[in-house]
A and B are shown apart, each in its own frame.
Chain A
């Protein structure tokens, strides 16, 4: 690492002057001409809700990391540090909107009402994403990087064909939010999604969490200009928002989801944030980044910042924070217990849903496996 690069890593970018920020890292509300109107409509109670979401999401995330360390999950993908980007955008969605997540959107899943047990079950190897996408309008986690941005765009094109965009009926009009990361921005799929969304004027908001690291590769290995600037080349607006500022993330996402539902087409939001932990539990970030960088980002922590705002500017009492901590502990403990109680699927179940219609190979192989397994019955264990 050269001296200049080392310096840059220790003093990471603060997002630059274009970044929308409504709450400073110290927890002070600052004005933004475009977004004050939306932000001012957010009540103290709603802000407390965001806070509760973020604390519970972090608690579940920590619980899952611990479970992996104890051998109860095969892998975990921590969302540590990205709670504001996920909760702010997740809470900006309406019920009829649809989210297409990566594999790290635990906070969005929480906001949509998806039981976190589903996420843990996937990383435990019980299923490959067994929740019903249509129950909470939250699609299955997609592991192939960037692939879901195109699925989201197609879904949005379906919304257009259902005439559920720009009708003026707030309960009918719908939009889609497509999550992806800074690493995915290099994928062709993401570029194609921008093209398809653009030419179709599809109601999809591309929400990039730029957490600065694609496993071990920093932003400069993925891009030459900031991600949000790319939108211009595809013909729709692009905005960078402070992804550790839940209020700003909420306001910016709400604006563009509203616009999309209204028929104004796609938008790109780059939530500038930081992956505080490892890429996954298999990763070792000490090999490629310095701890001083992490220390700088700790000062921008999304939960501490909102807590300061709530305590200082909204007069929220200490007891509220204690209650949320207690509730989060309870949710985490319960999640752990339910995870440990998850039964393994039966061997023959691997054949059950490969096809929707009967299939002779599935029937034959299911019978073969069942017969093979039953040949051990009665034998010594």
Chain B
């Protein structure tokens, strides 16, 4: 056990993966000498060389698509997209090539790629630096989409993701980079499993990434009012660990899904649909969603109103408890 920030856990996880497998290499903008704008790759170029920690030209389509070529040659590229809102130039290659090549080749081509994306708001950033675009990728067959929420998961999930033969979109909640936590000596669960991080009996709260901490705080506050919230960190957004989700909702009969992304056609919509289909007779109340509003991410002076927080989660919980 050691304590570190999530940023350091990611850095250490990448280092461990690179030490273990010489085919692992990193690609991205400013990830070399600078160590990335969030310093996640700090010191790695110095130790592993410019051939394995590649400062790329400033062109996201080019980064992802040359990574495809590297993977075809037998490498395991880990791509850093500098900010969530910068992934769109690479969108074509991610959905048309990365996601489809295994199927198109009838399994002859595997693309063991990880695309790391610092995600979400809450850091007072300018436009295009605070987006939550997971639904685009979770909607795309052939991709797996995961999100860490704490240092332990960050350390282990990045290594598990790099070992996975399928391409993975790996979300890192950027406002939690500096949260500290303990990192275990060994991975505690399968990469695509959810984690019941706080057991409870009245309401199931499903969250991932940056909202996990907010939901834990909400659960603590609710406890003082005598409401028992079960918080599940989904960790994997595609595939979903439906077994864990359904088991919890069958137990509590109430569920709220929380994410920063806009609610319209977001992950909460899929979860609500699946939960009502599978847990219909256990539900005491409709499944609620707490998320970003359906507007472009607002100027940062408004982001506290846009982003779900403890109070908005509790507000939803209160509405559920009225049933």
Chain A contacts to B: CB under 8 angstroms: 127-134, 139-140, 142, 144, 147, 150-162, 188-189, 192-193, 195-196, 199, 352-357, 359-361
Closest residue of chain B to A197, judged by CB?
B66
Is B102 a contact of A196 with CB atoms below 8 Å? no
A357 CA to B165 CA, complexed, in Å: 7
Could you jot down 23 A-B contacts, CB within 8 Å? A128-B100, A129-B104, A130-B104, A130-B105, A130-B106, A133-B72, A139-B72, A142-B97, A151-B97, A154-B68, A154-B73, A157-B73, A161-B51, A188-B61, A192-B65, A193-B62, A195-B57, A196-B59, A196-B62, A353-B103, A354-B141, A356-B110, A357-B166
Known contacts A161-B75, A356-B166: does B65 contact A189 (CB below 8 Å)?
yes
Query: What would 11 more interface pairs be, CB under 8 Å, given A193-B62, A361-B239?
Result: A151-B72, A153-B69, A154-B68, A154-B69, A154-B73, A157-B73, A158-B69, A158-B75, A161-B25, A357-B165, A360-B242
Closest residue of chain B to A130, judged by CB?
B106
B226 at the binding interface (Cβ < 8 Å): no
Q: In the complex, which residues of chain A have a beta carbon less than 8 angstroms from the beta carbon of B101?
A: 140
- Contact partner of A144 among B56, B69, B97, CB < 8 A? B97
- Contact partner of A133 among B67, B100, B105, B141, CB < 8 A? B105
Chain B stretch 81-106: residues in CB contact (< 8 A) with chain A: 89, 92-93, 96-97, 100-106
A288 CA to B92 CA, complexed, in Å: 30
Is A128 a contact of B65 with CB atoms below 8 Å? no
Interface size class of B (residues with CB under 8 A): 35 or more
Known contacts A147-B92, A357-B166: does B57 contact A162 (CB below 8 Å)?
no
A127 CA to B92 CA, complexed, in Å: 21
Closest residue of chain A to B93, judged by CB?
A147
Is B105 a contact of A353 with CB atoms below 8 Å? yes
Is B62 a contact of A152 with CB atoms below 8 Å? no
From residue A82, how far is it (CB to closest CB) to chain B in Å?
24
A211 CA to B66 CA, complexed, in Å: 27
Is A352 a contact of B69 with CB atoms below 8 Å? no
From residue B113, how far is it (CB to closest CB) to chain A in Å?
11
Is B74 a contact of A158 with CB atoms below 8 Å? yes
A199 CA to B242 CA, complexed, in Å: 46
From residue A71, how far is it (CB to closest CB) to chain B in Å?
24
- Contact partner of B102 among A132, A151, A155, A355, CB < 8 A? A355
A103 CA to B92 CA, complexed, in Å: 18
Is B62 a contact of A195 with CB atoms below 8 Å? yes
From residue B297, how far is it (CB to closest CB) to chain A in Å?
25
Chain B stretch 160-175: residues in CB contact (< 8 A) with chain A: 164-166
10 pairs of A and B residues whose beta carbons are closest in the complex: A154-B69, A158-B73, A154-B66, A150-B65, A192-B62, A155-B69, A356-B165, A353-B107, A128-B104, A130-B106
- Contact partner of B57 among A133, A152, A196, CB < 8 A? A196
A357 CA to B236 CA, complexed, in Å: 15
Is A357 a contact of B164 with CB atoms below 8 Å? yes
Is A195 a contact of B105 with CB atoms below 8 Å? no
Q: In the complex, which residues of chain A have a beta carbon less than 8 angstroms from the beta carbon of B51?
A: 160-161
From residue B12, how far is it (CB to closest CB) to chain A in Å?
24
Is A132 a contact of B70 with CB atoms below 8 Å? no
From residue A127, how far is it (CB to closest CB) to chain B in Å?
6
B109 at the binding interface (Cβ < 8 Å): yes
B2 at the binding interface (Cβ < 8 Å): no
Known contacts A128-B104, A353-B106: does B70 contact A158 (CB below 8 Å)?
yes
From residue B197, how far is it (CB to closest CB) to chain A in Å?
22
Is B105 a contact of A155 with CB atoms below 8 Å? no
Is A151 a contact of B105 with CB atoms below 8 Å? no
